[in-house]
A and B are shown apart, each in its own frame.
Chain A
Amino acid sequence: MIKKKVTVQNAAGIHARPASLIVKEATRFESEFHVHMYGYRINGKSILGLLTLAAEQGSELELEMDGPDEEVAMERIASLFNNGFRMTEE
């Protein structure tokens, strides 16, 4: 299992579109994926779970990946966060 801290970069926070991008990417991997925030731990492959985090710009999250392809999966998900979910400022 590996963990990594990321920060929400985009102005609009994790709303429906970023959340669905995260789920889409995460479900391509076998590894289990969870997100920690304010002591909550949610299934990162659940869009509803991600939305309930209500993560705004600047929020810090910890990603937790556990499984055979955890390295690649972590890299892909973290890069989604780091490039602001492939979108310009809204």
Chain B
Amino acid sequence: MINTNKKHTQVSMQEENAHKPNIRRNGITAVTGLVMGIARIYTRGNININPDPVDEARLPDEKKKFQQARKTVGMTMERLSDFADSRNDSDTRDIMNAQYEILNDPELETMVYQLIDQKSVRTEKAIYDAFQHYIDLIKSADKSFLVSRLSDLRDMRDRLIHNVQQLAVIASFGKDAVMVSEDVSPIEVITFARNGVKGIICTAGGLTSHASIIANAMGIPMIIGAKSVLRTVQDGDTIILDGYGQNVIVRPDDETSSSYTRVIKRQKEEDKFLRHVIEKPPETLCGTRIELQANIDFEDEVLNINKYRAEGIGLLRTDTLLMNAGPLTMDRSRQEEFCQTAYSGSGSGMVTVRLLDVGGDKLLNIKSKEANPFLGWRGVRILLDRRELLQSQLEAICRVAGRYPGRTRILVPMISNLDEFLEVKKELADMQGTLDKRGVPVDRKVKLGIMVEVPSVALQIRQFAPHVDFFSIGTNDLTQYTLAVDRGNNLIASLYQPLHPAVLTFISMTVQAGEEFDIPVAVCGELASDPFAALVLAGLGIRELSMTPRLIPKVKQAVRLHDLEEIKAISKKVMSCNTRSERETIRAEWREAYELKLKEERSKIIAL
């Protein structure tokens, strides 16, 4: 009796909390932005099968869903199986192999299709019934050695059904949806993006996770580490995701919601205003051109190149391809396909393909047991140890480069000494020779360059210059290596200062070497997309900035409202700052002056 009472009180307290308005919860901003929408709680699990027949017109879609689910489940399994391989875990590998064969069983496929066609049922029902057929048969044999393996069948069945249903669930969320979930996978983020999801809130998650990279590319604001949100929010609640304030507001009251509505409205006007700049050249007031290029991670993003008028691709990351292929194996034809899409989507611009840059924080989490992964096996170090991987990348790039002569730059990541670069250069020449012999068209003008991100390279930049065709500065890593600050560590977040004079000095040295040896110098780190930082970089002599395409208009606007002398003066001031607060003051002063210029520009545009 007492127990029941206690329970009752707890429930009502929870419910009360669940209806309280204006609850704020802190998180960490993974992708900035501000949105207000309807919270949709996204969980995995809860298999629920609807046995009703569907309209005949939908049957081809039902079959496609099966294909899609099989592909997605297959991808995850390949990764797990590689993981098992890497640990020499033969039991797990055997189970995985058997499950993989179940997934790709031709008779299973035939039966699923037959059930869909003949009984007009949904994919999930067909999957369930097809598996049940086999489960019944195996059970009826009554052999203990098989009955114990039925769990493999059930596991595959549930994973497939689950996958089919998740995709359907996401598609039904509607345009105002703000996803609230424990964690999301990269594939889920892509599906969110395709369905117009407004924002993503996760209770777990790391800043550098691949899911957040994709959310950023697609322009979906995202907050992670919002620990207790799932306890306060209910599906259908109004929710505000405030990436600037690093928090989430559940069921905002009228006052809060109207003040946010105003900010969002202003933001939309700002976006609209920025559209006028898209068609204009990226030039300073005095006519100096700053090329603004695109950072591209995956196929869905390629459309943004033309949309925001990026001048070619300054950084084509090939790391995303690993997502589909499992750790450290890459399918050459997939790479070729990806490059092909990138080239055909970027007009006549240059395409800078960066070789695989994994290790450290990226993608290989499950394998990195290194004490210092950022100083460990990553980038070119992996490629030189796994030559077949390097060669497959070079082959894919060279094949596409041959179809688009004069447009290719290949970027080698994580170079820390010259030998590494010379090795890659030799591999490239060998690959070109091999392809040439096979009669594949080869572009001999492919440019080979390095990422400048390790201080030793920046210090010896003049020794590299005679051998390379271009430099590209990765500001994220250059900052963290120069200042010895882990960019993923929140405890020292304030020490991560990309505009620190030491970092700027390295950049400046690279620019000087570039001028002396007549080699282009680009910046492809996140820093380039911050208008103030972009100006500082331009002031140091950088003429190529590469960033997420949707951020180009903002930077272009800043470039267009300054002349080169002003820009140089800003750089000089920032270079001479010895403390962070001095730098912040200069930024604030600039901001104030810039707002005035923007205001003037706006009135001019409106007058037109």
Residues of A within 8 A of B (CB): 12-13, 15-17, 19-20, 23-24, 42-43, 45-49, 51-52, 54, 56
Q: Please give the number of chain B residues whose Cβ is less than 8 angstroms from any Cβ of chain A in the complex.
A: 21
Hey, which chain B residues are within 8 Å of A54, CB to CB?
Answer: 138, 141, 143, 146
Contact (Cβ within 8 A) A20 B134 = no
User: Is B102 part of the contact surface with A, judged by Cβ < 8 Å?
Assistant: yes
Interchain Cβ contacts under 8 Å between A and B, 24 examples: A13-B145, A15-B145, A15-B146, A15-B149, A16-B98, A17-B94, A17-B97, A20-B101, A23-B105, A42-B107, A43-B106, A45-B106, A46-B108, A47-B98, A47-B102, A48-B102, A48-B107, A48-B108, A48-B134, A48-B153, A49-B107, A51-B146, A52-B137, A54-B146
User: Is B370 part of the contact surface with A, judged by Cβ < 8 Å?
Assistant: no
User: Is B95 part of the contact surface with A, judged by Cβ < 8 Å?
Assistant: yes
Q: CB-defined interface of B100-137 with A at 8 Å, one 1/0 digit per residue?
A: 11100111100000000000000000000000001001
User: Is B584 part of the contact surface with A, judged by Cβ < 8 Å?
Assistant: no
A8 to chain B, nearest CB (A): 11
A52 to chain B, nearest CB (A): 4
Is chain B's interface secondary structure helix, strand, loop, or mixed overall? Answer: helix
**Complex alpha-carbon distance, A47 and B107, angstroms:** 9
A28 to chain B, nearest CB (A): 13
**Complex alpha-carbon distance, A23 and B10, angstroms:** 55
Q: Which of A19, A20, A46, A56 contacts B106 (CB 8 A)?
A: A46
CB-based closest 3 A-B pairs = A54-B141, A16-B98, A46-B107
Contact (Cβ within 8 A) A51 B101 = no
Query: Closest residue to B103 on the A side, CB-wise?
Result: A47
Contact (Cβ within 8 A) B105 A56 = no
**Do A52 and B143 form a contact, CB below 8 Å, given A16-B98, A45-B106, A46-B108?**
no
Residues of B within 8 A of A (CB): 94-95, 97-98, 100-102, 105-108, 134, 137-138, 141, 143, 145-146, 149, 152-153
**Complex alpha-carbon distance, A52 and B137, angstroms:** 6
A29 to chain B, nearest CB (A): 14
Hey, which chain B residues are within 8 Å of A17, CB to CB?
Answer: 94, 97-98
Contact (Cβ within 8 A) A12 B145 = yes
Hey, which chain A residues are within 8 Å of B134, CB to CB?
Answer: 48, 51-52
Hey, which chain A residues are within 8 Å of B105, CB to CB?
Answer: 23, 46-49
Max count, chain B CB within 10 A of own CB: residue among A16, A23, A52: A16
Max count, chain A CB within 10 A of own CB: residue among B98, B141, B153: B98
Contact (Cβ within 8 A) B107 A13 = no
**Complex alpha-carbon distance, A49 and B97, angstroms:** 16
Hey, which chain B residues are within 8 Å of A42, CB to CB?
Answer: 107
Hey, which chain A residues are within 8 Å of B143, CB to CB?
Answer: 13, 54, 56
Contact (Cβ within 8 A) B107 A43 = yes
Contact (Cβ within 8 A) B107 A56 = no
Query: Closest residue to B130 on the A side, CB-wise?
Result: A48
Contact (Cβ within 8 A) A20 B107 = no
**Do A24 and B97 form a contact, CB below 8 Å, given A51-B149, A52-B138?**
yes
**Complex alpha-carbon distance, A46 and B137, angstroms:** 14
Contact (Cβ within 8 A) B101 A19 = yes
Hey, which chain A residues are within 8 Å of B95, CB to CB?
Answer: 16
**Complex alpha-carbon distance, A21 and B21, angstroms:** 59
Hey, which chain B residues are within 8 Å of A19, CB to CB?
Answer: 98, 101
Contact (Cβ within 8 A) B145 A56 = yes
B150 to chain A, nearest CB (A): 9
**Complex alpha-carbon distance, A45 and B137, angstroms:** 18
B496 to chain A, nearest CB (A): 49
Query: Closest residue to A22 on the B side, CB-wise?
Result: B101
**Complex alpha-carbon distance, A22 and B107, angstroms:** 15
**Complex alpha-carbon distance, A19 and B107, angstroms:** 14
**Do A20 and B137 form a contact, CB below 8 Å, given A13-B145, A46-B106?**
no
**Complex alpha-carbon distance, A38 and B102, angstroms:** 23
Hey, which chain A residues are within 8 Å of B107, CB to CB?
Answer: 42-43, 46, 48-49
Max count, chain B CB within 10 A of own CB: residue among A19, A20, A47, A52: A47
Hey, which chain B residues are within 8 Å of A51, CB to CB?
Answer: 134, 138, 146, 149
Hey, which chain B residues are within 8 Å of A12, CB to CB?
Answer: 145
Hey, which chain A residues are within 8 Å of B100, CB to CB?
Answer: 20
**Complex alpha-carbon distance, A52 and B100, angstroms:** 17
